[in-house]
């Protein structure tokens, strides 16, 4: 169907795309942006604009469609498309003549990204980055995809052809475009409505979701499903929690005899965490995990490293250490902290950086992280090479498709077997391997290094802070806890504006911005639900670790603000963005309301919010908190099991709701108090919390504890622990054995 202009003449798309007359080198409108991803496009010949009213006003005034590019500084294929298309003058001329071009950093604007990901998935059946969408001037998507090549290739049309087709459709088939855009917007609204409310979800729903997770476990290579493989950290935690509980229900895993659900969960998680730590997805030299594996073996990763992946995986390994008592899991956790300390944290001011890029240039496809045989031989002695090459499977034929000589370091054989083959003792093999790792890492540091995005995002920082607080306690690393508290104090000081001003999404941008710029209101991006609830948990974790009442108060303030700004008092649960203010203009797909349930890529905001409500309600006694937590979980109870692994955070929240809360308060500052705290932490359970107090802190407690602990303190000498389960507190205990026995009865 053709749409004609009012003159009756068929419109045509400008097609003279020679580079003549282009003002190369002139910065575009992104020069005023703060995001590292946006600033990387300042000198591209595309007339980029940032997401905002100016761009939409221009599109409406000029009656042009919008080309929306959503990407990230760590995204390899975003860089590829930049070089192939957005840095090409001829392609830029097509864009500038026919579109208003908007570039979005998905890390800076997760609210924009989430909606257009849903839109493009509805259009093309796939999402990801770079996300390329074509919008009406109002911001409604009528076509989209991900990466488009510069020429027709492998069944994909060239980007120039797509641009011309979409521009022609907008000019000549406007009615069809508008109808398509309306249908996509309806699909977004429908997909996010979750009209699946069910009352009083209970243990049977948790069991269904646990069984769903177990049935998707790959019992050969670990993890869930086939390739590509992502960590699914919430599902890992769910199964770690289940592994320590008593149950008689049986399940049959692939290639396994029928097992009780706890035993099956234990085997699945031990295998998964082992295989992940042995695979190439783990960085064996620097520590830390890459984002995901392109294969089912955890062998070849996408090499970017994200704060949120490493925070949640750090929790997984700490929880596994607490649940299974295996030192190997603690060793991985310590190694992850080593990488985060060295590469992902502002040691001076506090705070965690966002990510490390996959590559240092477009010609680098994992070259920074991989090794040829000759490269390893040049660095190592013959004795070191004999051990490291067998242990890490370094050969003349490697693992990378673009360069088969390149090896991704991964553990191929156990070190004792490597030692026997080399004719040395296990101790000698370990010394040679340690020496080889130091030399390989030193040599790698001399290579060009992938960019680290030093932006400090509130939600991701909160996740890292919580992980560090847990790890610092479980692994007896007080310096880790100290840095977590320093980081939390910075986030609260810079990003939290109190109940009136709310929470910002960004604490600080990269190193090119001065502190005054970081606080500039013009650069402020409003916090989303994730920022509020993750930071609320981090503050509550800090209170549990230190006993300082100011952290409990911060958590309460953040929860109150989240309820005011995000909670749907009519339909239940939380929206991901703030309620629309009177007279406020929402741009593009931001007009749609969204209640996050799926873990993608971070734990979903609604179950995280419900869990924070439960934790606070157990301390302040407010029944409305418990009611809102249950209402939030009920909102999704009728549909959640269909989301499987992607709703594992919901399953964790529901598990916490259906189990009686168990809280251990340890009072004292001597060696016995430290031993009691260690014993209290020693088994991971999602419904258990451990709080540490000094006696002087008993004068300032949350309401529920204020009615209990001071009275017990008056009758007890020395350090002691109090265990409360449900609404009942047991008498104080002073010995580790007595506490372990009491915990065994309660969990």
Tell me the DSSP string of 26-58. ---GGGG---HHHHTTTTSSS-EEESSHHHHHH
Q: How far apart are CA 358 and CA 77, in angstroms?
A: 10
Query: What is the DSSP code string of 629-668?
Result: HHHHHHHHTTTGGGGGGGGHHHHHHHHHHHSPPEEEEEE-
Q: Quick one: CA dihedral 242, 245, 251, 256, positive or negative?
A: positive
CATH number assigned to the domain covering 660-747: 3.40.30.10
In order of 289, 383, 478, 544, 690, the CA distances from 470 in angstroms are: 18, 39, 11, 10, 10
Question: Which DSSP letter does residue 603 get?
Answer: P
Picking from 689, 695, 741, 738, the residue whose alpha carbon sits closest to that of residue 719 is: 695
Residue 49, exposed/middle/buried by CB under 10 A (0-12, 13-18, 19+)?
buried
pLDDT of 519 strictly over 50 = no
Q: Which residue has the higher pLDDT, 527 or 730?
A: 527
Produce one character per residue of 648-671: b if its CB has 16 or more CB atoms within 10 Å, e if not.
bbbbbbbbbbbbebbbbbbbbeee
The mean pLDDT value of the chain amounts to 91
Q: How far apart are CA 99 and CA 716, in angstroms?
A: 74
Q: How far apart are CA 127 and CA 404, in angstroms?
A: 29
Question: And the tokens for 599?
Answer: 């873990």
Q: Which residue has the higher pLDDT, 12 or 690?
A: 690
**Which pLDDT band holds residue 516 (cuts at 50, 70, 90)?**
very low
Picking from 100, 96, 81, 140, the residue whose alpha carbon sits closest to that of residue 116 is: 140
State residue 370's pLDDT score.
Answer: 96
pLDDT of 5 strictly over 70 = no
State residue 713's pLDDT score.
Answer: 60
CA 499 vs. chain centroid, Å, equals 26
Q: How many Cβ atoms sit within 10 Å of the Cβ of residue 203? A: 12
pLDDT in tens, 43-99: 999 999 999 999 999 999 999 999 999 999 999 899 999 999 999 999 999 999 999
To the nearest 10°, report the CA torsion of 223, 227, 230, 236. Answer: -20
pLDDT in tens, 428-445: 999 999 999 999 999 999
Q: What is the pTM of this model?
A: 0.94
Write phi, then psi, for 259 (nearest 5 degrees): -130, 155
State residue 14's pLDDT score.
Answer: 42
pLDDT in tens, 155-213: 789 999 999 999 999 999 999 999 999 999 988 877 655 557 788 899 999 999 999 99
Q: How far apart are CA 218 and CA 657, in angstroms?
A: 29
To the nearest 10°, report the CA torsion of 599, 600, 602, 604. Answer: -40
pLDDT of 303 strictly over 60 = yes
Question: And the tokens for 605?
Answer: 């905001």
In order of 160, 372, 414, 500, the CA distances from 407 in angstroms are: 37, 6, 18, 54
Q: How many Cβ atoms sit within 10 Å of the Cβ of residue 718? A: 10
With a CB cutoff of 8 Å and minimum separation 6, the contacts of 400 are 300, 365, 366, 370, 406, 407, 408
In order of 85, 123, 315, the CA distances from 654 in angstroms are: 47, 33, 19
Produce one character per residue of 618-627: b if its CB has 16 or more CB atoms within 10 Å, e if not.
bbeebeebbe
State the SS3 of 107-173: CCCHHHHHHHHHHHHHHHCCCCCCEEEEECCCCCEEEEECCCCCCCECCECCHHHHHHHHHHHHHHC
Look at 30-34, 474-478, 555-559 and tell me which has the smallest mean pLDDT.
30-34
Query: Are the C-beta atoms of residues 454 and 460 closer than 8 Å to each other?
Result: no
pLDDT in tens, 489-511: 999 999 999 999 999 999 999 86
Question: Which DSSP letter does residue 590 get?
Answer: G
Rounded to 10°, the helix 382-391/415-422 angle is 140
Q: Which residue has the higher pLDDT, 360 or 140?
A: 140
CATH superfamily of 29-191: Glutaredoxin (3.40.30.10)
Percentage of residues of the chain with pLDDT beyond 90: 82
State residue 717's pLDDT score.
Answer: 75
pLDDT of 310 strictly over 60 = yes
Percentage of residues of the chain with pLDDT beyond 70: 94
Question: And the tokens for 66?
Answer: 């919008």
Structural domain boundaries of the chain?
A: 29-191, 369-447, 660-747
pLDDT of 517 strictly over 50 = no
Picking from 319, 331, 214, the residue whose alpha carbon sits closest to that of residue 277 is: 331
Q: How far apart are CA 712 and CA 689, in angstroms?
A: 19
Is 693 strand, coil or helix? strand
Picking from 370, 290, 359, 295, the residue whose alpha carbon sits closest to that of residue 80 is: 359
Question: And the tokens for 493?
Answer: 């000081």
pLDDT in tens, 674-690: 999 999 999 999 999 99
Write phi, then psi, for 256 (nearest 5 degrees): -120, 150
């Amino acid at each position: 169907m053709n749409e004609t202009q009012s003159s009756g003449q068929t419109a045509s798309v400008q097609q003279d795309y020679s580079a003549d007359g282009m003002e190369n080198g002139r910065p575009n409108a992104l020069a005023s942006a703060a995001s590292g991803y946006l600033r990387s496009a300042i000198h591209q010949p595309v007339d980029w604009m940032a997401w905002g009213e100016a761009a939409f006003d221009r599109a409406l005034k000029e009656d042009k469609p919008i080309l929306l590019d959503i990407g990230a500084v760590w995204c390899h294929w975003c860089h590829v498309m930049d070089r192939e298309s957005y840095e090409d003058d001829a392609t830029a001329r097509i864009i500038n003549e026919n579109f208003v071009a908007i570039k979005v950093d998905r890390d800076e604007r997760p609210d924009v990204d989430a909606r257009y990901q849903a839109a493009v998935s509805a259009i093309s059946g796939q999402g990801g980055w770079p996300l390329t969408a074509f919008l009406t001037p109002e911001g409604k998507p009528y076509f989209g995809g991900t990466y488009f090549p510069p020429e027709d290739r492998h069944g994909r049309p060239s980007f120039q052809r797509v641009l011309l087709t979409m521009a022609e459709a907008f000019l000549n088939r406007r009615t069809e475009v508008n109808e398509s855009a309306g249908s996509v917007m309806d699909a977004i609204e429908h997909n996010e409505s979750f009209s699946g409310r069910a009352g009083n979800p209970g243990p049977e729903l948790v069991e269904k979701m646990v069984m769903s997770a177990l049935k998707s476990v790959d019992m050969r290579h670990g993890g869930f499903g086939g390739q590509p493989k992502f960590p699914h950290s919430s599902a890992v935690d769910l199964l770690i929690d289940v592994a320590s509980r008593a149950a008689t229900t049986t399940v049959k895993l692939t290639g396994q005899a029928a097992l009780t659900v706890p035993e099956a969960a234990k085997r699945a998680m031990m295998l998964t965490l082992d295989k992940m730590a042995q695979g190439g997805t783990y960085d064996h030299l620097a520590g830390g995990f890459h984002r995901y594996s392109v294969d089912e073996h955890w062998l070849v990763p996408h090499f970017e490293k994200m704060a949120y992946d490493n925070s949640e995986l750090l929790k997984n390994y700490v929880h596994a250490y607490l649940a299974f008592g295996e030192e190997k899991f603690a060793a991985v956790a310590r190694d992850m902290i080593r990488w985060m300390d060295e590469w992902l944290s502002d040691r001076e001011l506090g705070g965690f950086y966002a990510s490390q890029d996959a590559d240092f240039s477009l010609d680098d496809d994992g070259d920074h992280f991989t090794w040829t045989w000759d490269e390893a031989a040049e660095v190592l002695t013959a004795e070191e090479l004999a051990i490291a090459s067998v242990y890490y499977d370094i050969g003349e034929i490697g693992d990378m498709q673009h360069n088969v000589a390149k090896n991704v370091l991964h553990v191929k054989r156990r070190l004792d077997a490597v030692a026997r083959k080399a004719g040395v003792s296990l101790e000698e093999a370990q010394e040679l391997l340690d020496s080889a790792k130091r030399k390989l890492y030193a040599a790698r540091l001399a290579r060009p290094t992938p960019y680290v995005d030093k932006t400090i995002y509130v939600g991701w920082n909160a996740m890292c802070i919580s992980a560090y607080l847990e790890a610092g306690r479980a692994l007896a690393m007080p310096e880790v806890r100290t840095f977590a508290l320093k980081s939390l104090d910075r986030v609260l000081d810079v990003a939290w504006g109190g109940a009136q001003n709310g929470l910002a999404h960004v604490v600080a941008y990269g190193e090119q911005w001065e502190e005054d710029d970081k606080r500039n209101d013009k650069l402020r991006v409003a916090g989303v639900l994730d920022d509020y609830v993750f930071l609320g948990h981090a503050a509550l974790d800090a209170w549990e670790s230190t006993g300082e009442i100011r952290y409990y108060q911060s958590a309460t303030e953040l929860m109150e603000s989240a309820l005011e700004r995000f909670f749907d008092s009519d339909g239940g649960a939380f929206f991901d963005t703030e309620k629309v203010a009177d007279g406020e203009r929402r741009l593009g797909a931001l007009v749609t309301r969204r209640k996050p349930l799926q873990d993608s890529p971070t734990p979903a905001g609604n179950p995280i919010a419900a869990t924070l409500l439960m934790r606070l309600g157990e301390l302040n006694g407010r029944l409305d908190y418990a009611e809102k937590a249950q209402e939030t979980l009920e909102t999704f109870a009728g549909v959640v099991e269909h989301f499987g692994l992607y709703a594992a955070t919901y399953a964790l929240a529901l598990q916490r709701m259906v189990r009686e809360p168990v809280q251990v308060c340890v009072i004292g500052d001597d060696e016995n108090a430290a031993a009691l705290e260690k014993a209290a932490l020693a088994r991971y359970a999602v419904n258990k919390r451990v709080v540490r107090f000094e006696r002087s802190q008993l004068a300032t407690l949350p309401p529920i504890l204020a009615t209990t602990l001071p009275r017990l303190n008056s009758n007890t000498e020395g350090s002691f622990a109090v265990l409360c389960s449900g609404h009942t507190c047991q008498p104080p205990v002073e010995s580790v054995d007595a506490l372990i026995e009491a915990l065994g009865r309660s969990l």
